[in-house]
Structure 1
Amino acid sequence: RILQYLVPVKLLQGKMPSQALLHKYGLREYEGLVQALRRGNLRIFNRCLEDYQGAFIRQGTYLILEKLKILAYRNLVKRIYLVQGSEKVNLGSVEKALAWLEEPIDMDEIECIMANLIYKGYIKGYISHQKKFLVVSKKDPFPTDAIIMKS
């Protein structure tokens, strides 16, 4: 029972439990959520939150889990960065990926999300507003030590 509360706290710290651990202790409601966070898949993330909303609200963990969405954005941008193989992440690619993931967001909101990721230290870089690029640092652009969520 304590794992119902420990898992969300550890997720906020960027520590992902294994699927085996979740399965062993019957925490199936977290399996899809963890997988979605790892992959940056906002469609699955939103679906898991919606499917288990009642259970998460009863446990008192829903609002904590909702805060994890920013990590899903971070990991999506990281995947795009790895695919593009360049320090310049085209925000148009982010927009297309989000639309494909059923999370259609306009460019202004995407820039706002990127600004928040930079501000919180989840991404090292800057936004080129005119060129619609996120330019990430050549050294450690997605620091893992910055993932500990700041309230």
Structure 2
Amino acid sequence: MLFDHCVVYGNVVQALRRGDLRLLRYAFQEHEDRFFRFAVYLVLEKLELQVYQRLLKKDLYYPKAEGPKQSSPAEVGSNCQSIEMVIDVDEVEGIMAMLIHKSLVKGYFAHKSRVVVLSKH
């Protein structure tokens, strides 16, 4: 029984650690019936924001290339894993707004210049 839970929740835990949205969505699809049966699907679905947060922080705090501490706009996203889905600008803005609103990321939008400014602290 313990092994069964490790298989079911293992991908969710790995997705949180890695900031891997694709793995999280795969885990939801693979074990959706079990998550509904145990009444944890909605709770687990809320973890998606934490995965976005981890993905963003991993890319900003641990840049791929050695060099200056600040990432240039071209470098941001260099560590992101390939996600086989299309996300439009409005969806990204919504995700960023939610992360900022929930205090998972510190930052603000500069709408005039179409930039989001994030703090590392």
Q: TM-score range by the shorter chain?
A: 0.7 to 0.9
After superposition, the C-alpha distances for 1:82-113 in whole angstroms (9 at most, x for unaligned) are: 21742x6849955x947x21232101110111
TM-score by length of 1: 0.64
Q: 90, 102, 110: which one pairs with 1:128?
A: 110
Instruction: Report which stretch shifted further, 25-34 or 111-120.
Output: 25-34
Unaligned residue ranges in structure 2 (runs of 5+): none
**1:49-64 to 2 correspondences below 5 Å:** 49-64=28-43
RMSD: 2.8
How far 1:135 moved relative to its partner? Answer: 1.9
Match of 1:102 in 2: 84
Q: Distance in 2 between matches of 1:125 and 1:57?
A: 35
RCO comparison, higher one (Cα < 8 Å, 6+):
1
Number of aligned positions between the proteins? 113
Match of 1:79 in 2: 58
Match of 1:115, SS? helix
Q: Report the AA paired with residue 48 of structure 1.
A: A
Distance 1:89 1:129, change over 3 A: farther
Q: Distance in 1 between matches of 2:94 and 2:74?
A: 11
After superposition, the C-alpha distances for 1:107-136 in whole angstroms (9 at most, x for unaligned) are: 111011101100100001113345554322
TM-score by length of 2: 0.78
Question: What is the aligned-residue identity percentage?
Answer: 35
Unaligned residue ranges in structure 1 (runs of 5+): 2-24, 141-151
Match of 1:29, SS? helix
Match of 1:9 in 2: none
Q: Distance in 2 between matches of 1:101 and 1:41?
A: 9
More helix by share: 1
Q: 72, 89, 101: which one pairs with 1:119?
A: 101
